[in-house]
Structure 1
Amino acid sequence: MIGRIVAALTGIGVVAGAGFLAIAWHPAIAPVAPPTAGSFDTASIERGRVLAAGGYCAECHTRRDGQQGAPLAGDYAMATPFGTIHSSNITPDPETGIGRWSLAAFTRAMRHGVSRDGANLFPAFPFDHFTHMTDGDIADVYAFLMTRPPVHAQKRENTVPFPANIRLFQGGWKLLFLHPGVYRPDPAHDAQWNRGAYLAEGLSHCGACHTPRNMLGAEKSDAAYDGAPVDNWIAPPLNATNPTPVTWTENEFFSYLRYGVAPLHGSAAGPMSPVVHGGLSEMPESDVRAIAVYLADLDHAASRQGGDSARLTAAMASSTRDLTGPQTDPDARLYAGACAACHANTGAQPVPGRPDLALNNALWLSEPTNLYQVVLRGIGTAEGQAGITMPSFYHSLTDADLARLAAYLRRTRTTLPPWTDLEKKAAAVRSTLPAPPVAASH
């Protein structure tokens, strides 16, 4: 009897193992001679350039951690809970890049997360989003990439430990979390909404940063766009759980994504800055508008704007709090000296380029991470709104100063509970940043 049970279990294991191999194992696709630039249609190359910008290819495939790499040559370090993964070289170099990849091999990578040699790719490459792109868009991106200057560049080794580094096991991840297939338009919505959904869910993979992930590194489908930590920042919620007092409307989303600043919410900084200025800025305005329409629908903006006017009035009333008369609160004096010159608004709306902190995402999130990042880093000329900068306070404010400032703003500009361990968290954020040069004295 025991022998029969063992035999049955063994048989089940063999069948299950064979089934898993059938899903997880993929054959190599034969290499091709690197195609010449002249073999691609110029219109396809140009469409691919725009699509590659909208998919942020260069952002994740160009090294920047202390050493500037060649565009698209890979080796960008992505810190994950499973170790550091370095992006691939996607220039047409025949040895270290994708120069010998056919369109079929490239399409398989985009749709199914499988390399030309048959190895499963880690989902740090967002093939779970790119799978929704059309064949034509994938072919155009391929045409663009294969006509870039080839760069011979080896990437560093990943630090993913055993057994997570076994590529075959990624087949199980895909079985659970990959839903391949081209985006299908939702007949309940118009063409503009569907275009925005196609871009946000596919090419531009917004959820890759703005959706929290489970223990296996997959996006939580029941918490789509609820916000998540990314690159030592917090990508805020893009849905109705966003805590800011004034609704993210279509126009606010559009202004932010197109110009790097939402008048009633703030500026694009940190990881979002290249998304706006290096990616979406290359796309047609109609596409950016379509994404804004889709996101505004996700956060139910149309049904949530009723109280915006009153909340805006309350926020503007708090903008100059503690700035008139004797200042007995030392934290208020700190704010007045460091921040008020730019962030105190006296009108009914914030002055363009001077976000009102009572409206800003950074003060309403569950942690002060983004507030600390902006104060310590500043906002450079290539970030946020064109022509507007914010100085770094890295050297002029201590961690204790940052903690006092954060506590003051949280209690006077929001209706939320106070943050905790503020000085410790300030030190933690500071430790992730290189010290900027000290300005020369005169």
Structure 2
Amino acid sequence: MLAAMSSALPSTSSQATAVSRDRGDACPGTLRLHAADDGALARVRIPGGVLGVGQAEALADAALRLGDGDLHLTSRGNVQLRGLRDGCGGELAGLLDAAGLLPSPAHERVRNIVASPLSGLDGRGLRDVRPWLSDLDAALCASDGARELSGRFLFALDDGRGDVTGLGADVTVRAAGDDALVALGSVDGAWRVAAGEASRAALLAAETFLDVARESGERAWRVDELAVPAAVLTRAVDRRLSEAGVAHVKERTDTRRTAGPPPGLVGDALCVHVPLGRLTGPQWRELTRVAASTRDTELRLTPWRGVVVPVGGLGTTDTADALDRLSAAGLVTDAASPWPRVGACIGRPGCGKSHADVRADAAGGLSAAGRSPLPLYWSGCERRCGHPRGERIDLVAVPEGGYRLTVGPPGGPTRTTVLTDPSQLATALAAINP
């Protein structure tokens, strides 16, 4: 057990350059739709990516009745519905509310929580994070202060394996034996608390961020946008935890990282990758049919645009048959596939700001991407929407046509070349890669 004390370990900031926000957060949600070129867009928060079969069917029904019929996975394990018809907001909200996907209208955009998707399924994590997920979501929805969080603010619950720790969350909780390490943005160090206090400590840290931003007069959507010194945040969190009676000790952050789940059978789970994050209606129905035949009857959406289906209760033959059916539906079940190494924003025609049909170009360059030493991400413009963290090759469409290819570590030296013809991707990759 932890002693009721707080150490004075110094903290230095590795925060990114502060960002000045001169407008309100326009991040879309379920009740605040975004107008895109292909119709309205709704972003449905799915804490931890966990969906019951009934909820999954409700999402598919909403997409078919009101939108383009597809479900679009985000880099936070959420779902976007696109191509929504005018005036459908009330009907959409009613459908999602009836399915339990809208527990608090005042908090629906701030329920951004990613969690280790294989937690409790493959024996690799230090603890099952599901209790943390349930507790944090409930506490978040019960907090009046949390309503002020931006729709971009992110919580991460890591079962100790290090998969979601590297996603750049604003508050990260990582299992550490009988305790948990709670980190705030990229501020050095973490607060060790008892595992039973992890969710409460995470919410207190988020509320402290809001307090510090308010006191400093800054409009910041994320922790690393604050211009205040890291020591100010550290002292404020120490004080907030102490006032709440949460025993804590500041210590160095665990920096070990692992990748997300590979496609295929992993432990007691079927893992599939969704090419470019777009699930058709038939693919979604096949996934829900598999989930409905299992003991847990749930799906887990991952921050890497994949889906994990716990297969407890299925025999070896049924599991192999399920993998075959998912593969036949166009989902990636082979870990050797190049698709998990390729990502793209929505591009044309869905986005009016895009300079290219990046998804078509990404699909056309799949073979070349499979031979690249780094993953690729295709963006239709400089905004690079949905861009994941980590080193990769960026392909950004330019107004005059073609793409600018850039590779290099964040904040470090980069190499750049130009791709005028997407069919020549292999040549461009050979020129830019060492």
Q: TM-score, normalising length from structure 1? A: 0.23
Q: TM-score, normalising length from structure 2? A: 0.23
Q: Which structure shows the higher helix fraction?
A: 1
Q: Which structure shows the higher strand fraction?
A: 2
**The structure with more radius of gyration:** 1
Higher relative contact order (CA 8 A, sep 6+): 2
